[in-house]
């Protein structure tokens, strides 16, 4: 039997995945390419990454109800970590290993 709360989440999940595909992921990949090339983060990048982090915390209960989304959430968290580590290294703060 399908859990009614899971069924009610369908629209939210679809909207979040669409936003990730069309807005978040392209911007994250652009930022990653720039920091991989040695650039530092500008204030817009920092604000965007902060919003992504904040939103991830907001959707945690949804992710807890839908473990099938764990792989994509983990990959996005890994991408976020790669960006922030490389950006910190580019600022001269640490090695990005």
46-81 pLDDT, tens per residue?
999 999 999 999 999 999 999 999 999 999 999 999
- Quote the pTM value: 0.84
- The average confidence (pLDDT) of the chain is 91
Q: Classify residue 85: in a domain, yes or no.
A: yes
Find the angle CA(16)-CA(21)-CA(24) to the nearest 5 degrees.
Answer: 80
| Residues 83/31, Cβ–Cβ less than 8 Å | yes
Domain of residue 37, residue span: 10-90
| Residues 35/88, Cβ–Cβ less than 8 Å | no
Q: Classify residue 36: in a domain, yes or no.
A: yes
Name which residue leads in pLDDT, 94 or 14. Answer: 14
How many domains does the chain fold into?
Answer: 1
Q: Classify residue 65: in a domain, yes or no.
A: yes
Q: Classify residue 82: in a domain, yes or no.
A: yes
Q: Classify residue 48: in a domain, yes or no.
A: yes
Q: Classify residue 2: in a domain, yes or no.
A: no
User: Which DSSP string corresponds to 19-35?
Assistant: HIIIIIHHHHHHHHHHH
Q: Classify residue 96: in a domain, yes or no.
A: no
- Sequence-distant (6+) residues with CB within 8 A of 80 are 28, 49, 52, 53
Q: Classify residue 1: in a domain, yes or no.
A: no
| Residues 70/63, Cβ–Cβ less than 8 Å | yes
């Amino acid at each position: 039997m399908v859990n009614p709360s899971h069924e009610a989440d369908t629209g939210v999940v679809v909207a979040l995945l669409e936003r990730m595909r069309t807005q978040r992921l392209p911007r994250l990949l652009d930022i990653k390419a720039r920091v991989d090339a040695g650039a530092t983060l500008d204030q817009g990048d920092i604000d965007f990454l902060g919003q992504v982090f904040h939103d991830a915390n907001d959707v945690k209960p949804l992710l807890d109800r839908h473990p099938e989304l764990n792989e994509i959430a983990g990959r996005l968290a890994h991408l976020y970590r790669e960006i922030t580590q490389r950006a910190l290294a580019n600022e001269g703060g640490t090695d990005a290993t």
